[in-house]
Each structure stands twice: as structure tokens, then as C-alpha cells.
Amino acid sequence: MRRVSRNTYRIGVEPNHAGKYEVRIEARYAGSNWALRVYFLVGAPERLSGRLQAVLRYLQRHEEELWMWGSSPSDRGLLFEEMLQEAGLELDHRRDFSRAPLTLSAAPGDSFRSLQWAELKRRLTERLAARAASRRAEALRSA
């Protein structure tokens, strides 16, 4: 049986020192064997899920354009940076990634199924709730 190559999206969510959530995404496109690392900030966990869904849809829809302008560092320029900024994204130059990222995958050109969105939302909610609980416990211990 032939194995189908799939685009893979690794997602890491970390709170930063300013109290915002930094969402880092590594999109690995199977068709071009290229990886794009981007990030965005959200101020509240309630906005995180919707914003993440919009960003992932953008990364899926514009795969070929992003690859064309971003795959070669020598070609990367103002147009590529501007494309990302229009979507509210910044290039992520860091090489480290979350220890346990959330992962989604889809065949090139396909959209995520509604079950995948529901599973992503559930897993995000669980992680954010676990982090909030550990912060409260840590605050109680230090008080």
C-alpha cells in the first residue's frame, strides 16, 4: 500500500512574561518538503482557539505562495514578511519547540475535517486548564 504524504502542523502554546499566550506553529509541507515556523500572540485563552483556527486555514490555503516566497532565504524579502504580517503572523527564528506539541495533519490541498478541529479545541482547553491549575497551586504555595 502506498503511503500518502501529509502536511503536518505542530502547535505549541506557551504563556509569556507579559501574560499573553504565544502560539508557535511549525507547518511542514509534504509536497515541497519545506517547513515554515511562525508565531502569534493572543491576550486571552478565549480568543486562542478561534485565532488558531484562522491561522491554520490561512497556512493551508496559501501553501504554494508561502513556499514560493519563503523557501529560499535569498528570495525571502519584504513581500514574504508582508504576507505573514497581513495574517497577523511573525517568522519564528527559534529552533527549540514545545516538548509536547499538538499535531494536526492533512493531505496537501485538503482542509481539516470538523472532527480534527473539535479534537484540537478539546486538547487546547485541557492544556490551558492544566496550566491554570498548576499556576494557582504554585501561587498558593508561595503565598
Question: How confident is the model over 2-35, as pLDDT tens digits?
Answer: 455 889 999 999 888 888 899 999 999 887 778 8
9 - beta bridge partners?
27, 104
pLDDT of residue 70: 67
- Domain assignments of the chain as residue spans, ordered by start: 7-142
Structure confidence at residue 73 (pLDDT): 66
**Nearest-10 crossing angle of helices 45-61, 114-142:** 140
How many of the other CB atoms lie within 10 Å of CB of 80? 18
Q: What per-residue confidence (pLDDT) applies to 140?
A: 73
pLDDT value at 74 more than 80: no
The answer to whether the beta carbons of residues 95 and 26 sit under 8 Å apart is no
Order of strands, sheet of 21-29, starting from the edge strand that comes earlier in the sequence: 90-91, 34-42, 21-29, 7-15, 102-106
Report the amino acid identity of residue 100.
Answer: A
- pTM (2 d.p.): 0.82
Summary mean pLDDT of the chain? 83
Q: Which residue has the higher pLDDT, 3 or 36?
A: 36
Mean pLDDT score, 55-80: 78
71 compared with 106, residue with greater pLDDT: 106
* pLDDT band at residue 143 using 50, 70 and 90 as cut-offs: low
Q: Which carries the bigger pLDDT value, residue 80 or residue 24?
A: 24
**Residue 77 confidence class, pLDDT cut points 50, 70, 90:** low
Per-residue pLDDT at 59: 92
